[in-house]
Structure 1
Amino acid sequence: MLSFFKRKKQGEDSTIDAGQLLEKKYEQKEEWVKTELSFHPHMRISTEQKYYFQFLNNELPPLKPNQLSLSGIELKKEDGRYIVTAFIRHTLNQSLSLGDTPLLLIGPNGELLGRKVFPLSELGELPPNSSRPWSFVFLESDLFVKELPETGWKLAFELKKQHALDMEESWEKTLSDEDKQKLKQLVRSLTPPKEGELNFMGLQAKIDGDGNLVVTLLIRNGSYKNIRLEQLPLVIEDASKEIVARGSFSLQLEVKANTSKPWTFIFPKSLLTKEHIDLSKWHVYPPQQ
């Protein structure tokens, strides 16, 4: 049960244009809209609870037309779970139904505290220009921190960013502007990795003057969080589909969320298993555990 004598909200607000989430174009207007309180038809609620939510809703700032907003009310820990109560608000001139939607829990300084995909179809149909209170349950496995702040947090819709190129400073300094632009265009043209997937794409492979195999890859991170690579085993197959090199590389390399990072790996001549390697086609992958 909510603490009804806490008349101030514990959470902050996050607001986006509805088109950013719904992938539709809506007219932008310079006016303000108040959202009317709405309860799910099957929600059991006391008179005191109705009064409490009405009080909080009246205090909410108006929104511009065609916006979506999450307004944090309360966060509490219960039986190892964190229950986050918030208003889901929208200012569309039509009813709104949502599906499975990833939400982010963000701290007072903008840090990512947690993430979870919620079946927002359970909200039911939201009337036009309405504000509906709802509770969201985060398990410890959904969090990136051990403790959550009591105040200053907010819920936010996760907006899918375009998969982008991420380069180490050393690459930024040594690559020409033309090569950087080509890499950016390549990353944009590729189908992004699936959510949570980490994969490797070969860019260039050659035998250097010392007989070493020099391989440049794109390390592609489809996860919503940064990935740190410290030990990376790799296998190379040539055009004959024979394994021509195996190696394990010690790294201190971070690949940012939803980005691809180029990196070069050198397989010493002693690790090569064939004398004549056909690199007209080749394939790279981590060995199966």
Structure 2
Amino acid sequence: MVKKKQQDKKNNGEGYVSTVLSLLDEEENVISDVQKEIFIDEIRELPPIKEGQLNVSGVYAYDMGDKVEVKVYVRNGLSTNLNLQKIPFLIVNSKGDTLASQTFNLASLGKLPPHSARPVKLYFDKKNFKVDKIPADDWKIVLNGEFNVTSKVRPRYEGLPEKISVEDKLVFDKFLDELPEMEEGEFSISTFSIGLQKNGNILVTTVMRNATNKPITISKMPMTVLDKNKRAVKSQNFIMKNFTVSPYRARLCNFAFPTDVHPENDQSLEGWSVIYKLVNINGGKNIKKL
């Protein structure tokens, strides 16, 4: 076995992040506390990484005959989840010479949480080596060129009403949790509910999610309400003041479409939907009946 000699861990600059051990749920149940402590100690000995980096660090390489087992830690220096797929790796020496190269599918690693490290064993085929033997204390494993990394984001709420009831918060949380994860850089609008109020307003409640690293401000929102037969019934361009969704956050927003229909009680408009653009409706006349 060729044990990897760790590099100097000093970091005099700013922007470095600490990573903590992250295991898959099935591993949590079978790996002993002693083994977890070994993992934690190994992570502490790894060289530092900066915010925003995806890093792989080798611990040892073991010659198995037709393969070489390489234990590495994959570390996520991003502030969002990562899902890894086909990743090309190189084993190189201190001169930068390539000793071995092979692509591995890391989908089995699952979702890698922000600022976490996960151990994995890579099995390099001997046919992918350019040398007969890995030199002691003169090798490292690195990522090679372009690879498929998807950063998954699950925004959490901000700006919920202070007096929101526990029951309502649970309903909103459940809706948010059931929405699909977002790709880094996306912004989405999801319709939470559509209902007709006693005051005659069609009230549309939306959840806006920001999966970017910058705040997003919305000044106008063109919207059209469709009935269950997908017919446009109300259309309006809402002017919004100071409405900003922070990075990696979600916000609720209500939109009211006035009508001349006044039911005795508030009612849910099941099967109705919203599109986020303006549609001309009967020359712009208000609907008379819902």
Q: Give RMSD over aligned pairs.
A: 5.1
d(CA) in 2 for partners of 1:206, 1:232? 19
Q: Is the 8 A contact 1:87 1:132 kept in 2?
A: no
1:36-55 correspondence to structure 2 within 5 Å: none
User: Deviations for 1:75-118, whole angstroms, at most 9, x for unmatched residues?
Assistant: xxxxxxxxx9x99563644536899x9865x9xxxxxxxxxxxx
1:263 Cα offset (Å)? 1.3
Structure 2 alignment gaps of length 5 or more:
1-9, 62-69, 80-84, 94-120, 122-136, 261-266, 280-290
Distance 1:11-1:259 versus aligned 2 partners, 3 A rule: closer
Please tell me the residue identity of whatever aligns with 1:124.
L
1:90 equivalent in alignment to 2:72 = no
d(CA) in 2 for partners of 1:98, 1:122? 15
Larger radius of gyration: 2
d(CA) in 1 for partners of 2:172, 2:194? 16
For these two proteins, the number of residue pairs brought into alignment is 203
Name the counterpart of 1:260. 250
Find 1:16's aligned residue among 8, 15, 19. 19
1:19 Cα offset (Å)? 3.6
Please tell me the residue identity of whatever aligns with 1:176.
S
SS of 1:173's partner is coil
- Could you tell me the percent identity over the aligned residues? 16
Find 1:165's aligned residue among 156, 166, 170. 156
1:102-121 correspondence to structure 2 within 5 Å: none
d(CA) in 2 for partners of 1:208, 1:12? 51
Distance 1:196-1:20 versus aligned 2 partners, 3 A rule: farther
Distance 1:102-1:8 versus aligned 2 partners, 3 A rule: closer
Find 1:124's aligned residue among 90, 94, 110. 90
d(CA) in 2 for partners of 1:167, 1:10? 32
TM superposition score normalised by structure 2: 0.50
Q: Is the 8 A contact 2:245 2:251 kept in 1?
A: yes
TM superposition score normalised by structure 1: 0.50
d(CA) in 1 for partners of 2:13, 2:86? 22
Q: Is the 8 A contact 1:14 1:71 kept in 2?
A: yes
Structure 1 alignment gaps of length 5 or more:
1-6, 34-62, 73-83, 107-118, 137-156, 271-276
1:216 Cα offset (Å)? 1.0
Please tell me the residue identity of whatever aligns with 1:253.
F
SS of 1:29's partner is helix
Name the counterpart of 1:70. 49
Please tell me the residue identity of whatever aligns with 1:255.
V
Of Structure 1 and Structure 2, the greater strand share is in: 2
1:214 equivalent in alignment to 2:203 = yes
